[in-house]
Chain A
Amino acid sequence: MAALTREETQNLIAEVLAIYPEKAKKDRAKHLMVNDRSLETAKKCITSNRKAVPGVMTIRGCAYAGSRGVCWGPIKDMIHISHGPVGCGMYSTMGRRHYMNGTTGADIFGTINVTSDFQERDIVFGGDKKLKAIIDELEKLFPLVKGYTIQSECPIGLIGDDIESVAKVKGAEIGKTIVPVRCEGFRGVSQSLGHHIANDSIRDWVLPTLDGDDSFETTPYDVNILADYNIGGDIWPSRMLLEEIGLRVISQVPGDGTLIEMQRSTKAKLNLLHCYRSMNYVSRHMEEKYGIPWMEYNLFGPTKIEASLRAIAERFDDQIKEGVERVLAKYKPQWQAVVDKYRPRLEGKKVMLYVGGLRPRHIIGAYEDLGMEVVGTGYEFAHNDDYDRTIKEMGDATLIYDDVTAYELDEFVKRLKPDLIGSGIKEKYQFQKMGFPFRQMHSWDYSGPYHGYDGFAIFARDMDMTLNNPCWKEIKAPWQRAAAPASVAA
């Protein structure tokens, strides 16, 4: 089926919104738009990063999730203390597939889940003493840990526990880095503010520690990989590619990263920023204070890899440029084989995406490499600048939705009838029951990695495996199917 025209898409939005009360309709209309590639900025057409309408289902998280889960979680040689009641701490237990190398208890602690388990008396008398006791206990249990972060849950902000003073006192006492993070869940409208707060805590408590210390030997080719969270092992193929073109990756922040890498990241020559939304703040700070330029890059799918590697090489000398050309030539047969195999099976299929704050626009290129078309996209917690960057990636007259509600997404899917939906766990079973092939694009649906050339092969296989799975024909009971002959071989 051909894509919708501009009017049809506009009508679709109007029809879906018709059910809302007047006020909610007015508010939600601002979050939906029909893409127009000629626009320079999305500001006039779509509103983002605003509070969700009360009473409708949103799939956003909280600031605590953004800091504890996203930005700090993958730092593997620190223990992240969830300071507050047990629930938040419990649910952050490796629910996110940020893989890490090492042995738990010796050099990695990311799999360990620590919470101060607030009770009523802690709310009344404060939790500072408990926090000190926890740190003492952890020191005894895990003497090899390199540092701690204190991740505040909601009550901490309400009762005003002084976690900064605990961090300073205990940090001086044990001689380790302790980072207090004021990421109470009620701050901000989504997890996005949690990313910002986590970035600010990195800026204030981690980066300055090596100021004036030049003992780390640098080379002209030192780069940081920023904001790659190693979901399903994503950072490893990315790093291999970057090292193959001749760069030296001195730190991975935060995916599979360590505290010392974070501290040394100030010594790099260039920051390579993968997830712009979650860590642009710290790269802007590093540009200002340490003079390290930053650039966004995208390693999903051969087209974008080629463009990104060339753009990275532009920042360096001819040696790196030659390296890029060598790597591109080396991997061409590999990805060409993947495209030749899967493109005929996936050509012309339509995809709808609804993920976090960056991934939809990064992954469009990979779908296009497989001949698929993205007909609708949206973000949970993106800001204006993300939509600015999305407009150019998406086709004209496609649907863009911000913080879409469960009802709206349902209706859009029913009307656009995509061949594949990519979103999170909360949407997965709903759409599968409706009979739509679905991939989780937050956690790669327990697969991955999807970055780099190695990841692209897995990505293509997964999409094919999901989309062309014979089970989708069996969703409807035999007596509900159309009169057409039911038993056609797949």
Chain B
Amino acid sequence: MPSVMVRRNEDGKLLFYVAKKDLEEVITAVERDTPEEWGGEVTLSDGETFYIDPISPPPTFPTTLRFKRVD
């Protein structure tokens, strides 16, 4: 369960950053991304997927969240 900082990059896309893993990738897809909630399965640009229970209301970025790895 890595602790992940999610922030927006200069193009406004969400970045998924894990300091310990040197992982900084753009989030390409989020399972649920509505004005009411944000979360579910999250896909990164390198193909990895992570899971977070949907948060309602959606968090304001940047923020640090705990994700689960999906194998």
Q: Chain B contacts of A384 at CB under 8 A?
A: 22-24
A288–B5 Cα gap in the complex (Å)?
Answer: 8
With contacts A49-B22, A385-B22 known, is A288 near B46, CB below 8 A?
A: no
Q: How far is the CB of B37 from chain A (nearest CB, A)?
A: 21
Query: From residue 16 to 57 of chain B, which have CB atoms closer than 8 A to chain A?
Result: 17, 19, 22-24, 45-46
| A284 contacts B24, C-beta separation under 8 Å | no
Q: Chain B contacts of A128 at CB under 8 A?
A: none
- What 0/1 pattern do residues 1 to 22 of B give for CB contact below 8 A with A? 0000101001000000101001
Q: Chain A contacts of B24 at CB under 8 A?
A: 384-385, 388
Chain A residue with minimal CB distance to B23?
Answer: A384
Chain A residue with minimal CB distance to B64?
Answer: A288
Q: Chain B contacts of A196 at CB under 8 A?
A: 19
Q: How many residues of B contact A (CB 8 A)?
A: 13
A49–B23 Cα gap in the complex (Å)?
Answer: 12
Q: Chain A contacts of B62 at CB under 8 A?
A: 284, 287-288
Q: Chain B contacts of A385 at CB under 8 A?
A: 22, 24
Q: How many residues of A contact B (CB 8 A)?
A: 15
A40–B63 Cα gap in the complex (Å)?
Answer: 25
A383–B24 Cα gap in the complex (Å)?
Answer: 11
Which among B19, B22, B45, B63 is the interface contact of A288 at CB below 8 angstroms?
A: B63
A43–B47 Cα gap in the complex (Å)?
Answer: 13
A281 sits at the interface (CB 8 A) = yes
A447 sits at the interface (CB 8 A) = no
Q: Chain A contacts of B19 at CB under 8 A?
A: 196, 281, 284
Q: Chain B contacts of A388 at CB under 8 A?
A: 24
- What 0/1 pattern do residues 48 to 82 of A give for CB contact below 8 A with B? 11000000000000000000000000000000000
With contacts A41-B46, A43-B46 known, is A284 near B17, CB below 8 A?
A: yes
Q: How far is the CB of A417 from chain B (nearest CB, A)?
A: 34
| B5 contacts A284, C-beta separation under 8 Å | yes
Q: Chain B contacts of A288 at CB under 8 A?
A: 5, 7, 62-64
| B7 contacts A287, C-beta separation under 8 Å | yes
Q: How far is the CB of A408 from chain B (nearest CB, A)?
A: 22
Chain B residue with minimal CB distance to A383?
Answer: B22
- What 0/1 pattern do residues 283 to 298 of A give for CB contact below 8 A with B? 0100110000001000
A8–B63 Cα gap in the complex (Å)?
Answer: 46
Q: Chain A contacts of B23 at CB under 8 A?
A: 384
Chain B residue with minimal CB distance to A281?
Answer: B19
A311–B45 Cα gap in the complex (Å)?
Answer: 26
A48–B23 Cα gap in the complex (Å)?
Answer: 12
Q: How far is the CB of A43 from chain B (nearest CB, A)?
A: 7
A295–B10 Cα gap in the complex (Å)?
Answer: 9
A385–B64 Cα gap in the complex (Å)?
Answer: 19
Chain B residues close to A by CB (< 8 Å): 5, 7, 10, 17, 19, 22-24, 45-46, 62-64
10 extra A-B contacts, CB within 8 A, seeds A41-B46, A284-B5, A288-B7: A41-B45, A281-B19, A287-B62, A288-B63, A295-B10, A383-B22, A384-B23, A384-B24, A385-B22, A385-B24
- 14 pairs, A vs B, C-beta closer than 8 Å: A40-B45, A41-B46, A281-B19, A284-B17, A284-B62, A287-B62, A288-B5, A288-B7, A288-B63, A288-B64, A295-B10, A383-B22, A385-B24, A388-B24
Q: Which 4 A-B residue pairings sit nearest by Cβ, starting from the closest?
A: A383-B22, A384-B22, A288-B62, A287-B62
Chain A residues close to B by CB (< 8 Å): 40-41, 43, 48-49, 196, 281, 284, 287-288, 295, 383-385, 388
